[in-house]
């Protein structure tokens, strides 16, 4: 079954209207593979700006949201607010949310359920830390994280699973294409056993972890790598090369 290649750009807490405006101009003018779904994760304060300036062929994602529609939750944003800005995606469970801000698997699961119920697509992130990989428990960690997400998903067509080895984010280290393929293949097998074969075959599992213009082509050639979630390189012109990794 062919899965549409998916490339997410996570701008994180970077940029201002000037620099993001320049980036958006570069993207709008770039020649990008029409067979790739591209979604840019903008800081919440710039969601409206990004959606109004980016060409409609690109999607926009919030980088986080809360688990309820509204209320006394200072500093949070809801899926309803995200949708009100014309934005259709949200990134949930990113390792920085887990390890810098202390979000639990349970909370990420609750956010996933509410975002999907609200009609957003979810880029759900999972991944192990360096000590966990070195301790030989990569599968145990990513399967446990995936289970909590899976328990909260009714419609898998709205979910993209992003495998991000924490030790390869912002470090310049990249999992080798073989390491990435191995985990993606095992995740697909887990979905087959624990969800369904149809979901295992159709859900896109993308790789995140210091993806660059230099590493993207070989990673994209792996059988179970269906795209990327790109950090720093998504703020640079090379992001176009990454989008076109399969071309």
Q: What is the pLDDT of residues 142-171, one digit of tens each?
A: 999 999 999 999 999 999 999 999 998 877
Distance (Å, whole) CA 113 – CA 93: 12
Model pLDDT for residues 61-91, shown as the tens digit of each residue: 999 999 999 999 999 999 999 999 999 999 9
- 72's CB contacts (< 8 A; 6+ apart) are none
Fill in the DSSP letter of residue 224. Answer: T
Write down the mean pLDDT value for the chain: 96
pLDDT at 37: 98
What percentage of the chain carries pLDDT values higher than 70?
Answer: 100
- Which residue among the candidates 96, 103, 128, 164 is catalytic per the annotation? 164
Section 165-188 average pLDDT: 91
Q: Is the dihedral of CA 49, 50, 52, 53 positive or negative?
A: positive
Reported confidence tier of residue 205, pLDDT bands at 50, 70, 90? very high
Class of domain 5-243: alpha beta
φ, ψ of residue 167 in degrees (nearest 5): -70, -10
114 annotated active-site: no
pLDDT at 204: 98
- Which residue among the candidates 94, 103, 114, 132 is catalytic per the annotation? 94
Section 4-13 average pLDDT: 98
184 annotated active-site: no
Model pLDDT for residues 106-130, shown as the tens digit of each residue: 999 999 999 999 999 999 999 999 9
Reported confidence tier of residue 1, pLDDT bands at 50, 70, 90? low
Strand, coil or helix: 218: helix
Give the H or E element holding residue 239.
Answer: helix 239-243
The answer to whether the beta carbons of residues 152 and 112 sit under 8 Å apart is yes
Please name the residue that has the structure tokens 């998903």.
153
């Amino acid at each position: 079954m062919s899965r549409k290649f998916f490339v997410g750009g996570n701008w994180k807490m970077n940029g201002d209207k000037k620099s993001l405006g320049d980036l958006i101009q570069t993207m709008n003018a770039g020649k990008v593979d029409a067979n790739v779904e591209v979604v840019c994760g903008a800081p919440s304060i710039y969601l409206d700006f990004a959606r109004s300036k980016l060409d409609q062929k690109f999607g926009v994602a919030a980088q986080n949201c809360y688990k309820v529609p509204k209320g006394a939750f200072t500093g949070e944003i809801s899926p309803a607010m995200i949708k009100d800005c014309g934005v259709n995606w949200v990134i949930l469970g990113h390792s920085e949310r887990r390890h810098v801000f202390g979000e639990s698997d349970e909370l990420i699961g609750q956010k996933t359920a509410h975002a999907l119920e609200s009609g957003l697509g979810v880029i759900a992130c999972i991944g192990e830390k360096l000590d966990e990989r070195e301790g030989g428990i990569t599968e145990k960690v990513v399967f446990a994280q995936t289970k909590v997400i899976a328990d909260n998903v009714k419609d898998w067509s709205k979910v993209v699973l992003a495998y991000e080895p924490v030790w390869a984010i912002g470090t310049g280290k990249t999992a080798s294409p073989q390491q990435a393929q191995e985990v993606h293949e095992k995740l697909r097998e887990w979905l087959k056993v624990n969800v369904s074969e149809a979901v295992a075959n159709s859900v896109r599992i993308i790789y995140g972890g210091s993806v660059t213009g230099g590493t993207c082509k070989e990673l994209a050639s792996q059988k179970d790598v269906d795209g990327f979630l790109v950090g720093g390189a998504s703020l640079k012109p090379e992001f176009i090369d990454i989008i076109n990794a399969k071309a």
